[in-house]
Copies of this chain bind each other. A is one copy, B any other.
């Protein structure tokens, strides 16, 4: 029996989560495991209900589950609230509270969806299969920050800060992941300017000695943002900090052309994990059965793999998605000519049937 904290969140969150849970139900009956769902309010809906992005008691509940599946949080409605009352704070509290330091974001180009990429055919045809390994509970996101008066004017600051052990543990995740892939790690930093990047580079270099079978290279973040567009096929695993990872993983997800397809896993020590699609709440299409549930369904597959060690079930879900695509089913965001347009629910149903 696995207890899963389920956080539908805002916007299209609840709709896509609903389909992911149907998929998990199907997995449950096929593979003879039991899932218990603990529903938690977090994000904008929690602000509306309780006045906070996530209640402490709910965070405690989440910590007691073996994994968390999250839809998406946020929306324009809450965008003008002060910083500590924003829906995004729920994400930070969950990440920090669960100590999930390793954010894995695969950006994979599906053969069937090549046309959706904004990049030219010549580039796309070389293939895109990148795993961004982003540090998730350090750096500027969690470092000291504040405001003060200096020389009579307001000044605000944030601190990008990393310790050796923080760098080491995330680098280890990248090297281990590369071993199961094409054995290439590109560590992205700004070591020509940042002291934190220089430490980053040293620690990664040192750790690389334990992984002689993995090829390590370093790249400045400005160059990485160019190379991702110029020739994404050069990348296998990208290892980077919280802030740079935020920017580069979004760029990587855009070049594969289908942000509605992309899952993510955030892992800590042991099997704890937070799983979520990388897309946002898409308030403009919420509640209209238009959202693509695949990113959330694939996030659930990652949960099966990383938190429950159910590799077979994970592959079954991933294959079910591939079959749906092969058969031409598309939600609006990935629709191209001659395909079969379906809504959120029908896409979920088709994928369930394919398992």
Residue positions of A touching B, CB distance < 8 A: 83, 86, 88, 92, 117-121, 123, 140-141, 143, 145-147, 150, 153-165, 190, 192-196, 198-200, 221-223, 225-226, 229-230, 243-244, 246-251, 253-255, 259
Partner of A251, one of B200, B225, B253: B225
Query: Judging by beta carbons under 8 Å apart, are B251 and A147 in contact?
Result: no
Contacts of A160 in B (CB 8 A): 140, 157-160
Query: Judging by beta carbons under 8 Å apart, are B230 and A118 in contact?
Result: yes
| A253 vs B182: C-alpha distance when bound (angstroms) | 29
- Which among A156, A161, A226 has the greatest number of chain B C-beta atoms within 10 A? A156
Contact A246 to B222, CB < 8 A, known contacts A157-B143, A194-B145: yes
Closest to A89 in B: B192
Main secondary structure of the interface of A (DSSP, over half): helix
Partner of A83, one of B147, B195, B243, B249: B195
Partner of A196, one of B157, B223, B254: B157
| A248 vs B118: C-alpha distance when bound (angstroms) | 17
Query: Judging by beta carbons under 8 Å apart, are A147 and B254 in contact?
Result: no
19 contacts between A and B (CB under 8 A): A88-B193, A117-B120, A118-B119, A120-B120, A120-B121, A140-B160, A145-B196, A146-B195, A155-B162, A156-B200, A158-B159, A158-B193, A190-B243, A221-B247, A225-B247, A225-B251, A226-B259, A247-B247, A251-B251
Contacts of A83 in B (CB 8 A): 192, 195, 198
Query: Judging by beta carbons under 8 Å apart, are B140 and A193 in contact?
Result: yes
Contact A195 to B157, CB < 8 A, known contacts A229-B255, A250-B223: yes
| A163 vs B147: C-alpha distance when bound (angstroms) | 9
Closest to A225 in B: B251
Contacts of A196 in B (CB 8 A): 145, 156-158
Contacts of A199 in B (CB 8 A): 147, 154-156
| A120 vs B161: C-alpha distance when bound (angstroms) | 39
Min CB distance A40 to B, Å, is 21
Query: Judging by beta carbons under 8 Å apart, are A195 and B145 in contact?
Result: yes
Closest to A222 in B: B250
Query: Judging by beta carbons under 8 Å apart, are A161 and B156 in contact?
Result: yes
Query: Judging by beta carbons under 8 Å apart, are B254 and A226 in contact?
Result: yes
User: Which 10 residue pairs of A and B lie closest in terms of their CB atoms, listed nearest first?
Assistant: A156-B199, A157-B161, A226-B254, A222-B250, A225-B251, A145-B195, A155-B163, A156-B196, A156-B195, A158-B160
